[in-house]
């Protein structure tokens, strides 16, 4: 089968999987040992107020009914109301998700653009200085505490400028098209906003990218080295094919699939673990929102964040599978 | 032996060593052989004797970090190969000097179609400017025609389908034929075949050998055929070279080797072949030594029924004896 | 009697020559660093110049002093010697890191063994369970856990162990799946060996190198996670010194008192780097199938 058929087949079960994620989220949010009523009202509420709140939150109905209501609400885009911010969770997420997506995407792009060439260079120049550089970068990237790097970067910039860089932009954000300030400012033709958005995203994205960069470089290097000793590459040399062609066409194409997988997994991991960097840079993303939700036992918000993350993981993994199948035709037939 | 003919391939005193955790070890200790134009030479030996290493040295595809060419010369039509730089070698390989690989499953890139891979070989060695002159589309069409023709000569039906297939979609026998086609595409003058078909069923292997024989004869090619199978050597080759523990111990016309083997090792090998006419077979006692522990003097001496004192200390040099070139102290002139 | 004859070429030979450790400087550096960390963690409290820095002593006059001869890393906001605190915090990180890896390996190996050996439906179920833990981001899960109960060293370790075990389980499961069809396992079965026996006598020994390499490489991960939780305030509580919480605490005094956040972070880096290098060195020795 060709790549398109494979893609369709892979995407079909998606709704079922997403449903599974919502069930999981629902179960988790009802298993966490905390009382939403207490959270919403605090300690000083009277029994009557508690009962009223229970009814308002729909907690008096049986679990299956609650789940159905939850599903129904979901379809209407209603994810409940945050017990802390008192706003609809959907609204809060609407602000937070684009911020996280933008940060994670820039970070992954950086990780790939730097990591893949670094890994490939390491393999091509094995045991010479580009390889040592590649390995050192990978080792260091994997050993650094992201929060610390973020703090240091803040420190350095704050010292240089006299003030720390916080948040997504200085000044009014561009009119909302996607919620991604970099994109929106270009759409609106506002180069000033673009510049500001870029200055604000560069450091957190860099801090966030390090771990993924290291992993991607390591994997790329390792796979390229494996390819070197493959018999069909020897055959290519015996056929007189040029070295550059062999490396960048025939070896790379075989080394890419695993690299793509690692990149995809890294995307999901970065999205979920951006907490620390977001906290340091005051980036209003999912991570910050999630941390606050957890520390305050804000169940609807926790459920909302987990749902979004679950959906993103599933979608990204599926996309990765499809891309993998496009690159490696053997997979389409298994 | 006509001295006036320039051999298509000449290997002189080829020495290759390998870097192992236990130190540097000699893999080839001075291989000498040649292949005349239009001739098939079979290089025969057990696993580990160095025949594949020799083949790879000729093609320049030795795994060079652990392996290293220490000395000697390899000439193709008089041209020195070992001193060529990478681009010089690349111009020859795949064109005048090609290789048929042993394992059809490992020797084709799994993520590209067969057609793509064959086209790449044609494109690489296309005469300068030919591609721009004809224009991309026309050139590709001509190339595909040429590939299809060659595949048909391999007795493969539906060449277009095969060209559009990925290697994993083809059977072992088909892949091996593709490998042979790849070696023939640019009309080489010498082919090095590394045990082709040995990874396949015996019946399929048989067809492959038949195909190779037919192609080589039709096209008047020279062939260096590596094998561990004496029977195959007998069937295909005009001359046979026997290798043991990193050196050639005997070279002779096929008939001579089989009727009047000179070297004790060759005799041992022949005695070990079961004959349909019955009778017991005798193995050769002992095993071929690990290259790290090669005996001094003649490497075969520990297992040789005709062992003499001199065999333990002096490596014999090849001498002529009754039509063979043999390296054994039994024959006068072998002591250096 | 297990079939430990030559008819089992797939078994990775366990007797590696230890001096085959890559003659690379990096491996020895890693071993030295990891060793140093262990020494510091064990003997630190005895060698530390200002042992009281680990507690709640306050010295307002001596607060926020930059690095000097008496205080190599300076003093913090209540006058405690930062160097001593960094050294003392090593103990916390090391204990946590090693405990997570040991406990997580125990769980992961058992689950992986069972799943890989029984294969089929059981394996699918077990791996889906592992996937659930994997789908939720590690820090989030650990945070949730720590936040639900009162944050402490114990909750931190338990939380991170819960996050980590699926990685080991998946790895073990994959290895067992491929080993269980080997010739020597079949041979054992023909000798009438029970499943348990096969698991522990035949299969497990072949996993040791994989397990050890993974565990040693991931000590660094555990240390980073402990620091992350500490940074967010959901881990080890003050006044116990912990690198992550020290970084967080020092933020308020940036950029002036830079030493408060910088040195703990450096310590984390050194520790994690050391264990990563150690893991790499072990991998070179134990696992032939790894890269060039």
- Domains of chain C plus CATH, in order, are 16-290 (1.10.3720.10)
Q: How far is CA B217 from CA B186, B223, B255, B330, in A?
A: 16, 10, 19, 37
Angle formed by the axes of helices C204-232 and C259-286, nearest 10°: 170
Q: C240-258 burial by CB neighbour count: b if 16+ within 10 A, else e?
A: bbbbbbbbbbbbebbeebb
In a domain? residue A69: no
Q: What is the enclosing helix (H) or strand (E) of A317?
A: helix A299-327
Residues B226 and B308 in one domain: yes
Residue A151 in any domain: the answer is: yes
3-state class of A234 per DSSP? helix
| Residue at a domain's end among B128, B148, B183 | B183
Residue B9 β-bridge partners? B35, B76
Mutation target to probe the B interface, by most B beta carbons within 10 A, among A6, A232, A326 is A232
Q: Give the distance from residue B90's alpha carbon to the nearest chain A alpha carbon, in angstroms.
A: 4
Tell me what pLDDT residue C57 has: 75
User: Cβ separation of C291 and A145 shorter than 8 Å?
Assistant: no
Pull the structure tokens for residue C280.
């790499």
Q: Are residues B85 and B175 in the same domain?
A: no
pLDDT at B183: 95
Q: Is residue B335 part of a domain?
A: no
Contact B139, B196 (CB under 8 A): no
Token pair in block for residue A320: 């990765």
Nearest CA in chain A to B100: A235
**CA pseudo-torsion sign A193, A199, A202, A205:** negative
Claim to verify: residue B87 and residue B219 sit in the same structural domain: yes
Burial class (CB in 10 A: 0-12, 13-18, 19+), C202: buried
Same domain, B89 and B196: yes
Do B200 and B286 sit in the same domain of this protein? Answer: yes
Are residue B118 and residue B239 in the same domain, yes or no?
no
Give a yes or no: residue A109 inside a domain: yes
Taking CA–CA distances from A232, the nearest residue in chain B reads B107
Which of A229, A235, A245 is opposite residue B101, by nearest beta carbon?
A235
Q: Which two tokens stand for residue A150?
A: 């973020």
Question: Which residues span the domain enclosing A225?
Answer: 90-293
Which chains, if any, share at least 3 CB pairs under 8 A with chain C?
A: A
Q: What is the pLDDT of residues B63-122, one digit of tens each?
A: 888 899 999 999 999 899 999 998 899 999 999 999 999 999 999 999 999 999 999 999
* Final residue of a structural domain among B155, B183, B211: B183
**Which CATH number is A223's domain given?**
1.10.3720.10
DSSP codes joined into one string, B227-267: ES-HHHHHHH-SEEEEEETTEEEEEEEHHHHHHS--SHHHH
Q: Across the interface, do A239 and B182 touch by the CB < 8 Å criterion?
A: yes
SS3 B64: coil
A169 near A197, Cβ under 8 Å? yes
DSSP C27-49: HHHHHHHHHHHHHHHHHHHHH-S
Q: Is the pLDDT of residue A5 over 90?
A: no
Given B59, B86, B108, which is nearest A238 (Cβ)? B59
Contact state of A139 with C277 under an 8 Å Cβ cutoff: yes
**Residue A66 exposed, middle or buried by CB count within 10 Å (0-12, 13-18, 19+):** middle
Contact A239 B94 (CB under 8 A): yes
The model carries a pTM of 0.80
Say whether A235 and B108 touch across the interface (CB within 8 A): yes
Question: Does the distance separating the beta carbons of A142 and C139 come in below 8 Å?
Answer: no
Q: Which residues of A touch B90 (CB under 8 A)?
A: 240-243
- The CATH number covering residue B58 comes to 3.40.50.300
Query: Per the CB < 8 Å rule, is A291 touching C247?
Result: no
Distance of CA B29 to the CA centre of its chain: 17
CB-count exposure of residue A305 (10 Å: 0-12, 13-18, 19+): buried
- To 5 degrees, how large is the angle CA C17–CA C23–CA C26? 120
Q: Flag whether A328 is in a domain.
A: no
User: Is residue A210 within 8 Å of A141, Cβ to Cβ?
Assistant: yes
Please indicate whether, in this complex, the C-beta atoms of B124 and A243 are within 8 angstroms of each other: no
Which candidate from A230, A234, A250 shows the least CB-CB separation from B61?
A234
Any residues with CB less than 8 A from the CB of A263 and at least 6 apart, and which?
A108, A111, A112, A212, A216, A320
The pLDDT value recorded for residue B32 is 93
pLDDT digits (tens, 9 = 90+) for A145-201: 888 888 888 877 777 776 667 888 877 888 888 888 888 888 888 888 888 888 889
Q: Where are the beta strands (DSSP E) in A137-267?
A: none
Q: Specify whether B235 is located in the same domain as B322.
A: yes
The string of pLDDT tens digits covering residues B22-32 is: 788 999 999 99
pLDDT band of C10, cuts 50, 70, 90: very low
CA separation for the pair B276, B283 (Å, rounded) = 17
Q: Do B121 and A235 touch (CB under 8 A)?
A: no
> How do residues B243-291 score in pLDDT, each as one tens digit?
999 999 999 999 999 999 999 999 988 888 777 776 667 778 788 887 7
Q: What is the mean pLDDT of residues A71-86?
A: 75
CA distance A202 to chain B (A): 37
Q: Is B27 helix (H, G, I), strand (E, B) or coil?
A: strand
- For C23-52, the pLDDT digits (tens) are 577 778 888 888 888 888 888 888 788 777
B57 with B89, same domain: the answer is yes
Task: Name the minimum distance, in Å, from the CA of B241 to any CA of chain A.
Answer: 23
Q: Which residues contact B317 (CB under 8 A, 6 or more apart)?
A: B327, B333, B334, B335, B336
Q: Give me B235's structure tokens.
A: 């069937």
Full residue range of the structural domain in which residue B145 is found: 104-183
pLDDT of residue C6: 34
Domain-located, residue A199: yes
User: Is the preceding omega at residue C239 within 30 degrees of 0, hence cis?
Assistant: yes
**Contacts with C277 from chain A: Cβ below 8 Å:** 139
Task: Give the chain B residue nearest A251 (alpha carbons).
Answer: B109
Looking up tokens 């991931």 gives C218
Query: Which of C147, C247, C277 has the CB atom closest to A295's CB atom?
Result: C147
Nearest chain A residue (CA) to C227: A145
Which of C147, C229, C257 has the most A C-beta neighbours within 10 Å, making it the best mutation to test the interface with A? C147
Mutant choice from A225, A233, A238 vs B, greatest count of B C-beta within 10 A? A238
Instruction: Tell whether B13 and B57 lie within a shared domain.
Output: yes
Chain C positions touching A269 (Cβ under 8 A) are: 137
**Does residue B334 fall inside a structural domain?**
no
Which residues in C have their CB inside 8 Å of a CB on A? 132, 135-140, 143-144, 147-148, 220, 224, 227-228, 231-234, 243-244, 247-248, 250-251, 254-255, 258, 261-262, 264-265, 268-269, 272-273, 276-277, 291-292
- B119, two tokens: 């086209």
Q: Which of A2, A123, A229, A240 to mutate to test the interface with B (most CBs of B within 10 A)?
A: A240
Residue B138 belongs to a domain: yes
* Contacts by residues C49-56 (CB-CB < 8 Å, ≥ 24 positions apart): C49/C81, C49/C83, C49/C84, C50/C80, C50/C81, C50/C83, C50/C84, C51/C84, C52/C80, C53/C80, C53/C81, C53/C82, C53/C84, C53/C85, C53/C88, C53/C241, C54/C84, C54/C85, C54/C88, C54/C239, C54/C240, C54/C241, C55/C239, C56/C239
Residues B196 and B301 in one domain: yes
A288 in Cβ contact with A281 (< 8 Å): no
Query: What is the rounded distance in angstroms from the CA atom of residue A133 to the CA atom of residue A149?
Result: 20
Contact assessment for residue C218 and residue C166, using Cβ atoms and an 8 Å cutoff: no
* B199 plus B264 within the same structural domain: yes
Q: How confident is the model over B230-252, as a mean pLDDT?
A: 93
Q: What is the tally of structural domains in chain A?
A: 1
- Judge whether A125 lies within some domain: yes
- Burial class, C110, CB count within 10 angstroms (exposed 0-12 / middle 13-18 / buried 19+): middle
Restricting to A residues 231-290, those with a Cβ less than 8 Å away from any Cβ of C are 269, 271-273, 275-276, 279-280, 290
Cβ(C242)–Cβ(C227) below 8 Å:
yes
Q: Specify the pLDDT at position C259.
A: 85
Q: Does B109 contact A229 at a Cβ distance shorter than 8 Å?
A: no
Question: Residue with structure tokens 């001579």?
Answer: B256
What's the rounded mean pLDDT across residues C50-63? 76
**Residue A74 covered by a domain:** no
Interface check B197 vs A, CB under 8 A: no
In the structure encoding, which two tokens stand for residue A139, read together? Answer: 């080792």
Instruction: Tell me the average pLDDT across B32-51.
Output: 93
Contact residues, chain B, for A232 at CB < 8 Å = 106-110
Task: Please check whether residue A205 lies inside any domain of the structure.
Answer: yes
Q: What is the number of structural domains in chain B?
A: 2
Is A273 in Cβ contact with C291 (below 8 Å)?
no
Phi/psi region, residue A297 (left: phi>0; alpha: psi -120 to 50; beta: rest), is: left
Same domain, B13 and B161: no
**Residue contact A231–B101, C-beta within 8 A:** yes
Does B103 contact chain A (CB < 8 Å)?
Answer: yes
Are C244 and C87 spatial neighbours (Cβ–Cβ below 8 Å)? no
* Nearest-by-CA chain A residue for C232: A276
User: Is residue B68 helix, strand or coil?
Assistant: strand
Rounded Cα gap, residues C198 and C204, in angstroms: 8
ipTM: 0.85
Sequence-distant (≥ 6) Cβ neighbours of residue C291 within 8 angstroms = A221, A222, A225, A226
């Amino acid at each position: 089968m060709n790549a398109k058929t494979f893609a369709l087949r892979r995407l079909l079960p998606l709704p079922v999987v997403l449903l599974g994620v919502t069930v999981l989220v629902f179960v988790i949010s009802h298993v966490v040992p905390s009382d939403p009523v207490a959270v919403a009202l605090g300690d000083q509420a009277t029994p009557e107020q508690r009962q009223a709140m229970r009814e308002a939150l729909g907690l008096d109905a049986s679990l299956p009914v609650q789940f159905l209501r939850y599903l129904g609400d979901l379809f209407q885009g209603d994810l409940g109301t945050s017990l802390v911010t008192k706003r609809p969770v959907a609204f809060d997420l609407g602000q937070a998700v684009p911020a996280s997506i933008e940060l994670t995407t820039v970070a992954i792009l950086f990780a790939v653009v730097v990591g893949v060439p670094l890994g490939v260079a390491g393999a091509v120049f094995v045991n010479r200085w580009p390889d040592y550089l590649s390995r050192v970068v990978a080792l260091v990237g994997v050993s650094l505490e992201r929060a610390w790097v973020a703090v240091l970067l803040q420190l350095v910039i704050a010292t240089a400028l006299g003030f720390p860089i916080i948040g997504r932009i200085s000044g009014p954000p561009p009119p909302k098209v996607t919620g991604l300030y970099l994109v929106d400012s270009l759409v609106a033709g506002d180069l000033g906003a673009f510049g500001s958005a870029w200055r604000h995203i560069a450091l957190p994205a860099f801090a966030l990218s390090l771990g993924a960069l290291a992993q991607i470089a390591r994997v790329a290097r390792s796979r390229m080295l494996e390819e070197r000793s493959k018999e069909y590459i020897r055959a290519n040399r015996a056929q007189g094919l040029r070295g550059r062609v062999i490396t960048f066409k025939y070896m790379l194409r075989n080394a890419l699939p695993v690299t793509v997988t690692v990149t995809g997994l890294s995307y999901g991991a970065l999205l979920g673990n951006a907490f620390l960097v977001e906290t340091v840079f005051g980036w209003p993303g999912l991570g910050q929102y999630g941390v606050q939700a957890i520390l305050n036992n804000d169940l609807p918000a926790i459920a909302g964040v987990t749902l979004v993350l679950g959906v993103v993981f599933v979608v990204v993994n599926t996309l990765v599978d499809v891309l993998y199948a496009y690159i490696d035709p053997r997979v389409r037939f298994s | 032996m006509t001295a006036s003919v320039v051999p298509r391939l000449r290997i002189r005193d080829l020495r290759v060593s390998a870097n192992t955790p236990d130190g540097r070890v000699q893999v080839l200790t001075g291989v000498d052989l040649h292949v005349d134009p239009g001739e098939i030479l079979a290089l025969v030996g057990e696993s580990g004797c160095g025949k594949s290493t020799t083949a790879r040295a000729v093609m320049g595809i030795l795994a060079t970090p652990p392996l290293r060419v220490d000395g000697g010369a390899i000439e193709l039509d008089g041209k020195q190969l070992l001193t060529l730089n990478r681009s010089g070698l690349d111009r020859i390989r795949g064109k005048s000097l090609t290789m048929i690989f042993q394992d059809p499953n490992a020797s084709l890139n799994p993520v590209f179609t067969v057609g793509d891979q064959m086209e790449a070989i044609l494109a690489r060695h296309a005469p300068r400017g030919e591609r721009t002159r004809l224009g991309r589309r026309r050139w590709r069409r001509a190339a595909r025609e040429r590939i299809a023709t060659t595949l048909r000569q391999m007795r493969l039906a539906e060449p277009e389908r095969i060209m559009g297939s990925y290697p994993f979609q083809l059977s072992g026998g088909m892949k091996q034929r593709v490998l042979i086609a790849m070696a023939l595409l640019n009309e080489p003058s010498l082919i090095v075949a590394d045990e082709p078909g040995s990874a396949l069923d015996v019946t399929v292997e048989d067809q492959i050998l038949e195909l190779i024989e037919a192609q080589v004869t039709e096209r008047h090619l020279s062939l260096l055929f590596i094998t561990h199978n004496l029977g195959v050597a007998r069937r295909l080759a005009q001359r046979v070279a026997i290798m043991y523990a990193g050196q050639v111990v005997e070279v002779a016309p096929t008939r001579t080797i089989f009727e009047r083997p000179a070297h004790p090792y060759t005799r041992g090998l022949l005695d070990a072949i079961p004959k349909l006419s019955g009778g017991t077979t005798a193995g050769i006692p002992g095993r071929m030594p690990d290259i790290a522990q090669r005996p001094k003097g003649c490497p075969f001496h520990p297992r040789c029924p005709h062992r003499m004192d001199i065999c333990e200390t002096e490596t014999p040099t090849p001498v002529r004896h009754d039509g063979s070139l043999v390296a054994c102290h039994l024959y006068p002139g072998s002591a250096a | 009697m297990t079939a430990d004859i030559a008819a089992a070429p797939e078994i990775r030979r366990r007797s590696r020559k230890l001096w085959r450790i890559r003659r690379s400087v990096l491996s020895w550096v890693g071993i030295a660093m990891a060793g140093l960390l262990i020494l510091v963690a064990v003997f630190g409290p005895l060698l530390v110049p200002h042992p009281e820095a680990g507690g709640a002593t306050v010295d307002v006059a001596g607060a926020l002093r930059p690095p000097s001869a008496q205080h190599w890393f300076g003093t913090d906001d209540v006058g405690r010697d930062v160097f001593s605190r960094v050294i003392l915090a090593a103990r916390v990180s090391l204990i946590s890191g090693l405990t997570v890896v040991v406990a997580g390996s125990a769980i992961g190996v058992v689950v992986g063994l069972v799943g890989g050996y029984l294969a089929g439906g059981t394996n699918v179920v077990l791996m889906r369970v592992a996937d659930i833990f994997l789908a939720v981001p590690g820090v989030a899960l650990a945070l949730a856990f720590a936040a639900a109960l009162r944050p402490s060293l114990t909750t931190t370790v338990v939380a991170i162990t819960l996050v980590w075990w699926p990685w080991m389980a998946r790895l073990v499961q994959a290895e067992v799946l491929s080993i269980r069809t080997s010739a020597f396992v079949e041979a054992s079965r023909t000798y009438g060996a029970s499943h348990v026996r096969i698991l522990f006598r035949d299969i497990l020994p072949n996993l040791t190198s994989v397990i050890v390499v993974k565990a040693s490489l991931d000590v660094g991960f555990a240390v980073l996670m402990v620091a992350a939780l500490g940074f967010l305030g959901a881990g080890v509580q003050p006044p116990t010194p912990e690198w992550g919480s020290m970084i967080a605490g020092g933020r308020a005094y940036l950029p002036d008192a830079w030493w408060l956040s910088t040195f703990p972070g450096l310590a984390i880096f050194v520790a994690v780097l050391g264990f990563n290098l150690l893991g790499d060195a072990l991998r070179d020795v134990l696992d032939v199938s790894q890269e060039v």
